[in-house]
Chains A and B, each alone.
Chain A
Amino acid sequence: MTDASPLARKTWMATLAKAPPARLVALVPHLPAHTVLRQPEIGAVMVRGRVGATGSAFNLGEMTVTRASVRLATGEVGHAWVQGRDKGHALRAAAVDALMQTGQAAELMSRVVQPLEAEARAARATRAAKAAGTRVDFFTMVRGEDK
């Protein structure tokens, strides 16, 4: 088992969680041999905001989340918490999280995680470019008293 830094793990777990489930299936069609430690469970996470964006926390409302945990035949344990109610997504993300702790990590990083990250970045950039296309440059007309 290779030791992944919490930051690296946090990053790939987020990428797997936010990936469109169908993309994850396409990139990882077959799951490795594993036992399910925690059956995929659908639940809610209470999303919090802050008063005035920076002040004290308040409860905004819940979102659906599915979580699952698996153990590979080789012993590594993988976890997933993913938005929505797709149990297959949670299970697959947990399996990849476990595989990312094995010798296959580098291969999975370049074949699965990095492409997903690139796709997410591209989607975000497309939207940002559309938003930028609606940017206004206000200019003030010469006012009477300025003459």
Chain B
Amino acid sequence: MYVAVKGGERAIDNAHEWLAEERRGNPAVPELTIPQIREQMKLAVNRVMAEGSLYDPDLAALAIKQARGDLIEAVFLIRAYRTTLPRLASSRPVDTGAMAVDRRISATFKDLPGGQVLGPTFDYTHRLLDFTLMAEGATPDQGSPSPLKGQGRCEDETRAPHVTGFLNQDGLIEEATPSDTMPPDLTREPMELPASRALRLQALTRGDEGFVLSMAYSTQRGYGRTHAFVGELRIGTVAVEVDIPELGFAVEVGEVELTECETVNQFKGSRTEPPQFTRGYGLVFGQSERKAIAMSLVDRALRWQELGEDFTGAPAQDEEFVLMHCDNIQATGFLEHIKLPHYVDFQAELELVRKLRAEAGAMQEAAE
């Protein structure tokens, strides 16, 4: 039960003023600017855009600054802002085959046409703290980063074909047949279960990275195992094309950076499907590799029914469990509300416990 609580206005004002002061930190240290966060904390910005479900690097950087680096709070700010925007249109589905690729690797095909492109990756780093970034008390190097030693020859490729396409030619992998049915939108209609794969992917791509990661990890450890290989992981930019009603044709309005992961999964066939490789799919805003891989594993695990596999009771196979708990804003909203005043609720609980104790005491006396 909720009742209006009055009072505490001055305390709240003071708390917010103090918050602003704490956010700024020591005034002797220069203040962070939005472009600094956008350029130098880019992966945090990417995560806030992915989970905030709004691609705008400046706004995500602002949210991170305002939230003092609390990324879930920043996602909350972005989600709240998003609701104030009119929906002008929906884009044509982006063509990831035409991606300007920064990174493209395959764990299944070493001779990937176009080659394996590592891109700016943490892989193969030693995970040792690099004290030159801190400059150990000396003035950090203000120069621009040194250029790459020898840049590669770049073929003028306009298309980077997907690895799964090669397996497709031999009929060894299930196909993803194009269809232009209007996809469901969980930001407009409450999520209904059972959900279509399109709806599941929308929920997963904006889901909490930690949650989706743990779900994916649980499948690898045996809770709904799907034997996944990363068929292909690519990061790069794609153009976003929108049909402009006043013109009657589609125009590219901008570009977004995306991470795409396709898994190739062992599948020995089922009652309804022949033995062939199956696929899981992940597509996430920004350079969000861990999230995209995790998303593709969870996507594949959730497809057990469609592929005629057994439900083993694993959490990652349980659509309701995954989809109803992957959104960190819903989760934190419900979790954190229990810290707000519940005095009346608690008063009722207190009365109840006192009454039960009195009754229990009376019964014991009667028994003696």
* A residues at B contact (CB < 8 Å): 6, 9-10, 13-14, 17-18, 41-65, 67, 69, 79, 81-85, 124-125, 127-138, 140
**Which residue of chain A is the closest to B199 with respect to CB atoms?**
A58
Query: B148 touching A133 by the CB < 8 A rule?
Result: yes
**Which residue of chain A is the closest to B181 with respect to CB atoms?**
A56
Q: Which residues of A contact B348 (CB under 8 A)?
A: none
Given A17-B254, A59-B185, A85-B56, A131 and B101 touching (CB < 8 A)? yes
Query: B242 touching A83 by the CB < 8 A rule?
Result: no
B100 at the interface (CB under 8 A from A): yes
User: In the docked arrangement, what's the CA distance between A81 and B250, Å?
Assistant: 11
CB-contacts of B200-223 with A (<8 A):
201-202, 205-206
**Which residue of chain B is the closest to A50 with respect to CB atoms?**
B93
How distant is B42 from chain A, measured CB to nearest CB, in Å?
Answer: 14
User: In the docked arrangement, what's the CA distance between A127 and B49, Å?
Assistant: 23
B110 at the interface (CB under 8 A from A): yes
Query: A57 touching B179 by the CB < 8 A rule?
Result: yes
Interface-side segment among B2-10, B255-263, B265-273, B313-321: B255-263
B328 at the interface (CB under 8 A from A): no
Question: Can you sample 8 A-B contacts with CB below 8 Å?
Answer: A13-B252, A43-B87, A44-B82, A46-B91, A51-B201, A53-B162, A79-B247, A134-B117
Query: A50 touching B85 by the CB < 8 A rule?
Result: no
Query: B176 touching A134 by the CB < 8 A rule?
Result: no
Query: A67 touching B88 by the CB < 8 A rule?
Result: yes
Interface-side segment among B64-72, B129-137, B151-159, B357-365: B151-159
Query: B176 touching A54 by the CB < 8 A rule?
Result: yes
Q: By CB atoms of chain B within 10 A, which of A14, A128, A131 has the most? A: A131
User: In the docked arrangement, what's the CA distance between A124 and B236, Å?
Assistant: 11
Q: Which residues of B contact A48 (CB under 8 A)?
A: 90-94, 183
Q: Which residues of B contact A140 (CB under 8 A)?
A: 110
Besides A54-B176, A134-B120, A134-B121, 7 other A-B contacts (C-beta < 8 A): A50-B93, A56-B180, A62-B55, A63-B254, A128-B100, A129-B151, A132-B152
User: In the docked arrangement, what's the CA distance between A22 and B119, Å?
Assistant: 29
Chain B contact residues, majority secondary structure: mixed
Interface-side segment among B14-22, B25-33, B279-287, B331-339: B279-287
User: In the docked arrangement, what's the CA distance between A84 and B89, Å?
Assistant: 14
Given A41-B86, A63-B254, A135 and B198 touching (CB < 8 A)? no
Partner of A51 from the list B50, B85, B256, B281 (CB cut-off 8 Å) is: B281
Given A52-B281, A129-B151, A134 and B253 touching (CB < 8 A)? no
B122 at the interface (CB under 8 A from A): no
Q: Which residues of A contact B115 (CB under 8 A)?
A: 135-137
User: In the docked arrangement, what's the CA distance between A46 and B205, Å?
Assistant: 13
User: In the docked arrangement, what's the CA distance between A83 and B92, Å?
Assistant: 15
B193 at the interface (CB under 8 A from A): no
Query: A138 touching B56 by the CB < 8 A rule?
Result: no
Query: A82 touching B185 by the CB < 8 A rule?
Result: no
Query: A46 touching B176 by the CB < 8 A rule?
Result: no
How distant is A103 from chain B, measured CB to nearest CB, in Å?
Answer: 21
How distant is B182 from chain A, measured CB to nearest CB, in Å?
Answer: 8
The 8 closest A-B pairs by CB, nearest first: A83-B254, A132-B152, A52-B176, A55-B176, A58-B198, A14-B252, A63-B55, A43-B88
B344 at the interface (CB under 8 A from A): no
Q: By CB atoms of chain B within 10 A, which of A9, A42, A128 has the most? A: A128
Q: Which residues of B contact A57 (CB under 8 A)?
A: 93, 179-183, 198
User: In the docked arrangement, what's the CA distance between A17 and B180, Å?
Assistant: 26
User: In the docked arrangement, what's the CA distance between A49 and B281, Å?
Assistant: 11
Query: A133 touching B152 by the CB < 8 A rule?
Result: yes
**Which residue of chain B is the closest to A12 with respect to CB atoms?**
B251
Partner of A131 from the list B86, B117, B201, B255 (CB cut-off 8 Å) is: B117
B53 at the interface (CB under 8 A from A): yes
User: In the docked arrangement, what's the CA distance between A101 and B258, Å?
Assistant: 35
How distant is A88 from chain B, measured CB to nearest CB, in Å?
Answer: 15
How distant is B367 from chain A, measured CB to nearest CB, in Å?
Answer: 64
User: In the docked arrangement, what's the CA distance between A50 and B150, Å?
Assistant: 36
B54 at the interface (CB under 8 A from A): yes
Query: B244 touching A81 by the CB < 8 A rule?
Result: yes
